[in-house]
Amino acid sequence: MELIIASHNQDKLNEFKKIIGNKIKLYSLYELGFNDEIPEREKTVEKNAVFKAQYINKETGKNVFADDTGLEIDSLNGEPGVYSARYAGIEKNSEKNIDLVLNKLKNKKNRKARFKTVISLIHNNKTINFEGIVEGQITNKREGENGFGYDSIFQPHGNVLTFAQMSLEEKNKISHRSIAINKMTQYLKENNLL
């Protein structure tokens, strides 16, 4: 089976390929020669994932999945949420995003947060969504060198390590993205598509 992943993010693509393995042949937008930015105008992670999948499906006519992920912090009323990638500005700078989060949490005791991923799959013109959530907390400072985005300040419940202190294999056992992708692969198996 072949699927397009509607993303230019190489870190995300590597993570997906590691989780899926050889079960599905994944094509990135770069491999298809599609270099345009996909607009992200929606107000929720779910709607953004659906929009991105539909956008690439219309452009290519092929089966596609798109994901959107948000970091939701309780004491910041769910921010950065759908704006996680561009929290500190449209240039999508992870270091500035982390600085802004840590600065806003400086005097807050409640550091509860969750990562939420929604994958929207379009297969044979049918759209199905899959959700993955990991609860945790925001650390006081960056910890670890691995991962990307907010991984260095997110510590999942039941762990002493941040996502950035874990290997990709360790992270993929518990991450929001792997929960959602595993739900998608299960759906594909159940429908004899895999």
Q: Which residues are catalytic?
A: 68
Peptide bond preceding 156 in cis form (omega within 30 of 0): no
With vertex at residue 131, the alpha carbon angle to CA 147 and CA 95, rounded to the nearest 5 degrees, is 30
Please name which of 16, 27, 23, 66 lies closest in space to residue 171, comparing C-alpha atoms. Answer: 16
The Cα–Cα gap between 8 and 5 comes to: 9
The Cα–Cα gap between 36 and 32 comes to: 11
Please name which of 35, 114, 117 lies closest in space to residue 69, comparing C-alpha atoms. Answer: 117
Total Cβ atoms within 10 A of residue 81 = 17
Running DSSP on this structure, what letter comes out for residue 61? -
How far, in Å, are 10, 34, 73, 101, 103 from residue 108 at the CA level?
Answer: 34, 43, 11, 11, 10
Cα 62–chain centre separation: 21
